[in-house]
Amino acid sequence: MSLTQLPAWQALSAAAAQLTATPLAACLDDDERNRQLRLQLNGCHFDFTRQRLNREVIAHLLSLAEQTAVADKTRHMLSGDVINASEQRAVLHTALRGGAQVDTATRQAVEDVQKQLNDVAAQIRGGRWLGFSGKAITDVVHIGIGGSHLGPELAVEALSGYHSSALRLHFIANIDANIFHRVLHGLNPETTLFIIASKSFGTLETKQNALSARSWFIERTNALAGVSRHFIGVTSNVPAAVEFGLDAANLFPMWDWVGGRYSLWSAVGLPLLLAIGEDQFSRFLAGARQADEHLLQASAAANLPTLSALIATWNYNFLGAGSLAVLCYDERLRLLPDYLQQLEMESNGKSVTVDGEKVDYHTMPVLWGGVGTNGQHAYHQLLHQGTRAYTADFILVAGDDRNMRDHHHWLLANALGQSQAMALGFAAAADEPHRHVPGNHPTTTIVLDELSPATLGTLLALYEHKVFCQGAIWNINSFDQWGVELGKELAIPIHAQLSGTVCGEAPGEDSRTAQDPATQGLIDHIKSRH
């Protein structure tokens, strides 16, 4: 039976018609409901009370979880079934933190790679990994994009309070030469180590940046033989990495059952391991493992990922929310919206079911966000008085690490004030319509006790599992990303025209392949300005 025909879906449609006439404030007036909507896990407090739903809706949502078999699908994922059907792969990133049931050989392979990573990280952190001229490493440049970049950079920045080595960590993702130059400017090649992270080892940006980094190194050192002391790689395609020129002894493997956007827990997380060391990194993994155990064990009503996904479904499919704003009231989480954009939109921005049928309901809307309080002075105007329905996640950290109480209390007070305004609005006098704030916008508030490796691990893994539960409800494959391929292919003949390297033509000739008039016009314009 299709999703929209399920009894729970139909019941939710009927409930939505009624509830849109009920103000959010009225929903809040129910202690039992509010109690059900406050849940904790490992120092992460989730408050869903400012969602626009009542006990009846919660009951229908829980039935939806049952009717879409979320718990069964969870068991399939965690026991290594091939749930990524379009790529014929299991989905076992949870095995990287001990949260899945895998065979002994797989568990051993994961442990071996982690041990290898810990050894290398200890050498680099301890100044025992020497560059070609005998000097210790001072700067590490991580080159990767998408899932091979967003997680490590976010985690390194978020856990700045736990950095325990003098190493400076840098990131290059984009193919734009501006970032390449900004990062490498002033670095000493004798003391710089590059990590080339690419699951496929076929990604254009990463390969081009790696090539340029290699040239940068050789031009400045003249030490071709020194490359192996300055380049290490992370990939599931070892032959391609070796063919590219990386030394097999410096490669950390990944497995095809780890999706790129779920790979922070693998060797892709090496920058974080370098920054915080083995003990804290193992706390990060343990925090994520707690989320895995929670996903498997907690009943749907008390299951954070399941409930988050159900509430998101309610907002997107029944209340018409067209975007999810992630509003981080902590500068250290500045990069979280970028990371979640890939996690949620690349996973669940799909139009067909797992069986290839076209969906007749909306899937993932746009996720965006930023840091509070800055956003209040930029886009919150639209959130308070704009015309579109949306939902938001507020993320706060209760602990005051900087010991500046005034700043911290104002920061938190602003976060709570914003979500209060979004929920309750303000009824202005009739002659002041410009002051009217409609309210009734559903939001979730997540309060971390502190921002530590353990709480960050739990938070990120809970978001991963929310995405999984959401895909389970929508009956889509959250683990492939075929939509990104077309643009990559189209760029190839365009690049050939821009660079004058169309097959069979001499470089620099005015080479043309068949392009639509708009593309050709832009190519011609750009070439005329070169």
- The residue within the footprint of ligand F6P, chosen from 42, 49, 114, 198 (CB under 6 A), is 198
Question: According to the binding rule CB under 6 A, does residue 269 interact with ligand F6P?
Answer: no
Provide the minimum distance between the beta carbon of 175 and ligand F6P in the complex, in angstroms, as a whole number. 12
- Distance of alpha carbon 175 from alpha carbon 502, whole angstroms: 21
Provide the minimum distance between the beta carbon of 344 and ligand F6P in the complex, in angstroms, as a whole number. 13
CB-wise, 214 or 229, nearer to ligand F6P? 214
Provide the minimum distance between the beta carbon of 479 and ligand F6P in the complex, in angstroms, as a whole number. 10
Q: φ and ψ at 505, to 5 degrees? A: -115, 150
The enclosing H or E element of 47 equals strand 44-47
The enclosing H or E element of 252 equals strand 251-253
Question: According to the binding rule CB under 6 A, does residue 147 interact with ligand F6P?
Answer: yes
Question: According to the binding rule CB under 6 A, does residue 261 interact with ligand F6P?
Answer: yes
Q: φ and ψ at 325, to 5 degrees? A: -95, 130
Provide the minimum distance between the beta carbon of 463 and ligand F6P in the complex, in angstroms, as a whole number. 16
CB-wise, 487 or 517, nearer to ligand F6P? 487
CB-wise, 152 or 372, nearer to ligand F6P? 152
CB-wise, 285 or 343, nearer to ligand F6P? 343
Provide the minimum distance between the beta carbon of 455 and ligand F6P in the complex, in angstroms, as a whole number. 25
Q: In what order do the strands lie in the sheet with 251-253?
A: 168-172, 139-143, 192-197, 231-235, 251-253
Cβ pair 238, 253 in contact under 8 A: yes
**Pairing, β 38-41 against β 44-47:** antiparallel
CB-wise, 200 or 353, nearer to ligand F6P? 200
CB-wise, 63 or 481, nearer to ligand F6P? 481
Binding mask 453-482 for ligand F6P (x = CB under 6 A): ----------------------------x-
| 150 alpha-carbon distance from chain centroid | 7
Stretch binding ligand F6P (CB under 6 A), from 92-100, 200-208, 330-338, 502-510: 200-208
Stretch binding ligand F6P (CB under 6 A), from 30-38, 192-200, 322-330, 417-425: 192-200
Both structure tokens of 231: 């380049």
Stretch binding ligand F6P (CB under 6 A), from 26-34, 196-204, 450-458, 505-513: 196-204
Question: According to the binding rule CB under 6 A, does residue 91 interact with ligand F6P?
Answer: no
Active site residues: 346, 377, 488
Please name every residue paired with 323 in a beta bridge, in sequence order, or none if there are none. Answer: 366
Question: According to the binding rule CB under 6 A, does residue 148 interact with ligand F6P?
Answer: yes
- Distance of alpha carbon 5 from alpha carbon 408, whole angstroms: 48
| 376 alpha-carbon distance from chain centroid | 23
Nearest to 37 by CA among 20, 57, 8, 9: 57
Cβ pair 519, 498 in contact under 8 A: no
Count of chain residues binding ligand F6P (CB under 6 A): 14
Provide the minimum distance between the beta carbon of 469 and ligand F6P in the complex, in angstroms, as a whole number. 20
Residue 458 CB-half CA count within 13 A: 23
- The residue within the footprint of ligand F6P, chosen from 51, 203, 341, 477 (CB under 6 A), is 203
Query: Cβ contacts of residue 270 below 8 Å, gap of 6+?
Result: 117, 121, 142, 152, 195, 197, 234, 252
Cβ pair 8, 34 in contact under 8 A: no
Burial class (CB in 10 A: 0-12, 13-18, 19+), 426: exposed
CB-wise, 330 or 480, nearer to ligand F6P? 480
- The residue within the footprint of ligand F6P, chosen from 42, 206, 445, 458 (CB under 6 A), is 206
- Distance of alpha carbon 401 from alpha carbon 160, whole angstroms: 11
Binding mask 342-361 for ligand F6P (x = CB under 6 A): ----x---------------
CB-wise, 96 or 137, nearer to ligand F6P? 96
Per-state percent for the chain, helix, strand, coil, to nearest 5: 55, 10, 30
CB-wise, 79 or 208, nearer to ligand F6P? 208
Question: According to the binding rule CB under 6 A, does residue 199 interact with ligand F6P?
Answer: yes
Stretch binding ligand F6P (CB under 6 A), from 24-32, 61-69, 140-148, 299-307: 140-148
Query: Cβ contacts of residue 464 below 8 Å, gap of 6+?
Result: 93, 262, 291, 343
Provide the minimum distance between the beta carbon of 263 and ligand F6P in the complex, in angstroms, as a whole number. 7
Q: Is 134 left (phi over 0), alpha (psi -120 to 50) or beta?
A: left
Beta strands in 276-390 (DSSP E): 323-329, 366-371
Question: According to the binding rule CB under 6 A, does residue 484 interact with ligand F6P?
Answer: yes
- Which amino acid would we find at residue 527? K
Provide the minimum distance between the beta carbon of 525 and ligand F6P in the complex, in angstroms, as a whole number. 27
Stretch binding ligand F6P (CB under 6 A), from 49-57, 145-153, 398-406, 451-459: 145-153
- The residue within the footprint of ligand F6P, chosen from 80, 99, 131, 146 (CB under 6 A), is 146
Provide the minimum distance between the beta carbon of 94 and ligand F6P in the complex, in angstroms, as a whole number. 18
Provide the minimum distance between the beta carbon of 201 and ligand F6P in the complex, in angstroms, as a whole number. 7
Q: How big is the chain, counted in residues?
A: 530
Both structure tokens of 242: 């070796």
- Distance of alpha carbon 141 from alpha carbon 124, whole angstroms: 13
Both structure tokens of 462: 């809970």
CB-wise, 282 or 341, nearer to ligand F6P? 341
Which 3 state secondary structure label does DSSP give 162?
helix
Stretch binding ligand F6P (CB under 6 A), from 35-43, 122-130, 144-152, 281-289: 144-152
Instruction: List residues near ligand F6P by CB under 6 A.
Output: 145-148, 198-200, 203, 206, 260-261, 346, 481, 484
